[in-house]
Amino acid sequence: MSRTDSTQGPLSGHLVVDLSRALAGPHAAMMLADLGARVIKVENPGTGDDTRGWGPPFVGPEDDLQSTYFMSCNRNKESISLDLKSGDGQAVLRRLLERADVVIENFRPGVMDRLGFSTAAMHGINPRLVILSITGFGHDGPESQRSGYDQILQGEAGLMSLTGSGPTDPQRVGVPIADLLAGMNGASGVLAALVERGRTGRGQVVRTSLLASLIGVHAFQGTRTTVAGEVPQAQGNHHPSIAPYGLFACRGGSVQISVGSERLWASFAAAFGLDPAAPGFASNAERVRNRAGVIAAVERVFADYDAAELLQKLNDAGIPAGKVRSLDEVYAWEQVASQGLVVDVDHPLLGKVSLPGPPLRFFAPGDAAETTLTQHDAPPLLDEDGQDIRQWLGMEATVAAGAK
């Protein structure tokens, strides 16, 4: 399963050592793997990454069930089991760090120091190393030692107060968005640090957190608080600053529309026989203040159409619109397939399986030939590549992986 010979992707030739577990760090590492880096995932002997036990759903043979959660964030990686408290595990890790371009960890502050791999120690081993460190609440400050779990952070960072049917109905986002955003921010920081290393020849430390990543996407809701002095609240499926913009009932179903300009409002009103200049409707600011009246007026005219014919009419009028798809519909959608957003891999236990694909594509200049990584590897079994990695490091005679 080794990817040492891979020459595809802009990070081809770079080695990433992934010491992280759960989701934020592994997602960052997978993003770098999708860009062509070789990623070696270091896991605890016996149990591996925590997410190997997260389920159901599990798939595969009863005596070796595989977690679909683990599979979501570990494609294109190799796995080696190391006990980082043992002499053998530390020796192997030192060899990996000597060759690595990037190391990723998401332990609580201080854990890497206690293992003997502080940032100073790792840069002593390899001054060119880019170190990505992800925590829950930040690396310093009065609450830096708190455990960082996604839903806890969604609440603490205010996201749940903005999400739900109303102010008394706080809801989590349907995916671990704090973890995912922290992974994305971490990968972005790594890329910037690699660019700078190209100028200076030295690596550096990149830090982010689940807290920082969620506050970083507060967007207009943040400035609504810090500048306008308002405290936003959840208000369901309608935009707080644009109207009409949201999910609207129609005959036997619902559709989503986005009327984001006065030009679109004039087109929408003309298509459905509404007076665009009526009191409470003449400008976006009026429509936002009159949101309940706007929703009622829109749903009144939508009641004459089922979803399919309504979407066609909206499209003909040039109004951005769509439906709410279930995930099975999403992965069967031809548009999704056309963008490489489903990839097929050969898993050693499960055979051919399909995974959600990477979100970036790359094209050569001039002829526009696509250079995106197209051959993907299945998420590895625990320690699947351990002996191959040891041999590559020149440690084939060392005690077996995970031994103490």
Q: How far is CA 311 from CA 116, 186, 204, 322, 329, in A?
A: 60, 39, 51, 7, 17
The CA radius of gyration of the chain, in Å to the nearest whole number, is 25
Of 42, 63, 103, 72, the residue nearest 385 (C-alpha): 42
Q: How wide is the angle at C-alpha 37 spanned by C-alphas 82 and 373, nearest 5°? A: 130
Q: DSSP secondary-structure letter at 306?
A: B
CA 334/CA 352 separation, integer angstroms:
20
- Is residue 370 classed as helix, strand or coil in its secondary structure? strand
Q: At what angle do helices 262-272 and 307-316 cross, to 10 degrees?
A: 130
Residues 211, 148 contacting (CB under 8 angstroms): yes
CA 274/CA 230 separation, integer angstroms:
32
CA 117/CA 298 separation, integer angstroms:
61
Q: What's the number of CA atoms in the CB half-sphere (13 Å) around residue 344?
A: 3
Residue 127, phi-psi category: left (phi > 0), alpha (psi -120 to 50), beta (remainder): alpha
CA 120/CA 111 separation, integer angstroms:
14
- Name residue, tokens 């706080």: 170
Active site amino acids = 179
Give the sheet arrangement for strand 15-18, strand by strand: 77-81, 38-43, 15-18, 102-105, 130-135, 205-209
CA 128/CA 305 separation, integer angstroms:
62
CA 99/CA 61 separation, integer angstroms:
36
Residues in the chain: 404
Q: What is the residue-wise DSSP string for 69-133?
A: HHHTS-TTEEEEE--TTSHHHHHHHHHHHHH-SEEEE-PPTTHHHHTT--HHHHHHH-TT-EEEE
